[in-house]
Amino acid sequence: MLQPILHYGIHFLLPLAVALLFFKTQWKIAYFIMICGMLIDLDHLLANPMFDPNRCSINFHPLHSYYAIGLYVLLLLSKKTRLIGLGLVIHIVADTVDCILM
């Protein structure tokens, strides 16, 4: 019961909190860009079965691999890519929490 609430809370509320705290004047666009980090879940379409509630996404799906995560962290270093990086890293944090709670 707690796992889905925590998972989706991190996915949607943490980017909102970051946007409101650190991008006050442009929080809506910052939130939108970070929410676009959800698009990395498109790699779930490559899995068979596509959804398995007992599978950890981290290092299973290509866009959730350790190499991809390293790239997402590097995106945080540049101001031009920071919001994208934040969205992707927050997404990975949500999925990591899922893996821990399994």
Q: Are 72 and 92 in contact (CB under 8 A)?
A: yes
Mean pLDDT of 28-35: 98
Which one, of 19, 37, 17, lies nearest residue 29 by Cα?
19
Which one, of 2, 10, 25, 26, lies nearest residue 87 by Cα?
10
- Which letter, b or e, does each residue of 32-54 get, where b requires 16 or more Cβ atoms within 10 Å of its Cβ? ebbbebbebeebbeeeeeeeeee
What confidence score (pLDDT) does residue 38 get? 94
Q: Are 88 and 41 in contact (CB under 8 A)?
A: no
pTM score, two decimals?
0.93
More confident call, 7 vs 96: 96
What confidence score (pLDDT) does residue 70 get? 98
Tell me: pLDDT of 1 over 80.
Answer: no
Is the previous residue joined to 49 through a cis bond, with omega within 30 degrees of 0?
Answer: yes
Over residues 47-101, the pLDDT tens digits come to 999 888 889 999 999 999 999 999 999 999 999 999 999 999 999 999 999 999 8
Q: What is the DSSP letter of 52?
A: -
